[in-house]
Amino acid sequence: MKNSIKKILNSGDSVVNILFYWLPETISNAMLVSLPPLIDSFIISNLHSTTTYGALGMVNNFLHFLIKLAEAIPIASIAIMGRHNGAQEYDKCGQDLGSTFWTTAFMGLIIFALVFFGAPYILGFMGLPAKMVTLGMPFLRLRATGIFLIFVSLGLFAFMRAVKNTKTPMIIYIIGNIIFVGLDYTLVLGKFGFTQMGLKGSAIATIIQYIVMISIAFFYITSKKDYKKYFSKMFIGYFSKEKVRQILKLSLPIMIDKGSLAGAYVLLAKMIAPLGKYAIASYSAIKDLERFAFLPAVGFAQIIVFLVSNRIGAKDLDGAKNNIKKVMILTAAMITVTLTILCANSRYFIQLFDKKDKFTNLASPVLMLISVLVIFDFVQLILAAALRGAGDVRTVMKVRFFSCLLFFIPAVFLISKLPIENQIIKFSLIYGSFYINTGIMGLFFLKRIKSSKWQNKEI
């Protein structure tokens, strides 16, 4: 037993180095995925309108789905650039950044057009009450611009992460979120002489935030001396149709697998919407709080991609395996702590968003019940990221897609139709079906990791 533990500790990256990569990455993910909607929700809740708060949550739920799609290209690029960096092929790594930049810009433009012109159909599909649709329409259209900017920014940050620089993205995200919080507070609530803009103010704050972040990232990459070895010319001058096809080919399975999981959240929202505006508001609060508590897992999932890809690029397969084991243990320990704190203080956290005390009695018990099932989610998240780092993206895609298609969708529809009068029980069953689904995924991923096929994928 001791020899086995010693072998794990001595192979792959050290625990200290893993934590060194993880901390800034976790902060970066907090700034991208968790904190902005959490802070935004808190600010919007100060308008004392459950309808407005519910509209924000439902639109943000759909935007989270788009952000997950946006992550696909950078994740694929990290796997590609990480191998070149591990093999010390610096020119190829820099050229890949150029192709990644143009790919993210092109895909972001397509998503912008679809969301802007398809906003009425999107909100209609989600089954929102009429008042929420009226409030959500202009907000969603403005946020379409923000989604385009997020696509572009992720391409730049992908390069930094591929060369094991997780600190700089963290700093840029901190700067961006300081700007966002200040503008969000000012524009949403109408402070410092500005007109109260409500949800529109939130969207404008996001646009300005990402313009600043992209500008900083661009300047950093082009001016840093250590990065000169990657570029013989300005990286935006690199464009290879063959490389773009390779990135998209590797990204498409990731989009499908991430879209399957994130789309499940959208379907959850649609199934919960008929329960009324307080259930909608409860879902928004629970989802945002759980994503915040889940941050350690998200950070570890991000770094395991390049920890595995770099080790495989260096022909160190044992190191790749042991990195996965270390990350799983660290994630389990941290998630246990965060979820325990969340559950022990559930009413306090829910009331941060429920200023009128309208939905706390529903949301608090559901939050505690659902948190027990979150363990299933972090297992599949880490293992899926490890498979992506090895280039085995098709396995992740197939498992997630077919698990959602064959289990989750039928299960959640069936539960939604059951004549259950107790709203807490029905809400918990609908939401809980999502985590049972992720548990099924985790079992398939674990089986794949135990085989040797995933380590030999060519990118």
* 273's tokens: 């919407």
What per-residue confidence (pLDDT) applies to 321? 82
User: DSSP class of residue 456?
Assistant: G
Round to the nearest angstrom and report the end-to-end CA distance of the chain: 36
Q: How many beta carbons lie within 10 A of that of residue 318, not counting itself?
A: 13
Provide the b/e sequence for 93-109 (b: ≥16 CB within 10 Å).
bbbbbbbbbbbbeebbe
Q: How far is CA 108 from the centre of its chain?
A: 16
- Tell me the pTM: 0.78
SS3 275: helix
220 C-beta neighbours (distance < 10 Å), count: 17
> CB–CB of 263/404 below 8 Å?
yes
Report the distance separating Cα 273 and Cα 281, nearest Å.
9
Is 307 in contact with 37 (CB distance < 8 Å)?
no
**Which of 85, 248, 64 has the alpha carbon at shortest distance from 161?**
85
Q: How far apart are CA 13 and CA 321, in angstroms?
A: 11
Angle at 32 between CA 85 and CA 48, to 5 degrees: 180
Position 249 scores a pLDDT of: 82
Give pLDDT, residue 459.
Answer: 47
**CA atoms of 269 and 250, how far apart (whole Å):** 29
Who contacts 417 (Cβ-Cβ below 8 Å, separation ≥6)?
none
DSSP letter assigned to residue 406: I
**Tokens matching residue 408:** 């989750």
**In this structure, what token pair is assigned to residue 420?**
């259950």
Q: What is the pLDDT along the chain (459 residues), one digit of tens a residue?
A: 555 555 555 567 788 889 988 988 888 778 767 788 888 899 999 988 888 888 888 888 888 888 888 888 887 888 788 777 766 777 777 788 878 888 888 889 999 999 999 988 888 888 888 888 888 899 999 999 999 999 999 888 888 888 878 788 888 988 998 999 999 999 999 999 899 999 999 999 999 999 999 999 989 988 888 888 887 676 776 677 777 788 888 888 778 877 888 888 889 889 999 998 899 999 989 988 988 899 999 999 988 888 888 887 777 777 888 888 899 999 999 999 999 999 999 999 999 999 888 999 999 999 998 888 888 888 999 999 888 888 787 888 899 999 999 999 999 999 999 999 899 999 999 999 999 999 999 999 999 988 876 665 554
> What pLDDT is stored for residue 234 in this prediction?
66
CB–CB of 343/367 below 8 Å? Answer: yes
Q: Which pLDDT belongs to residue 188?
A: 94
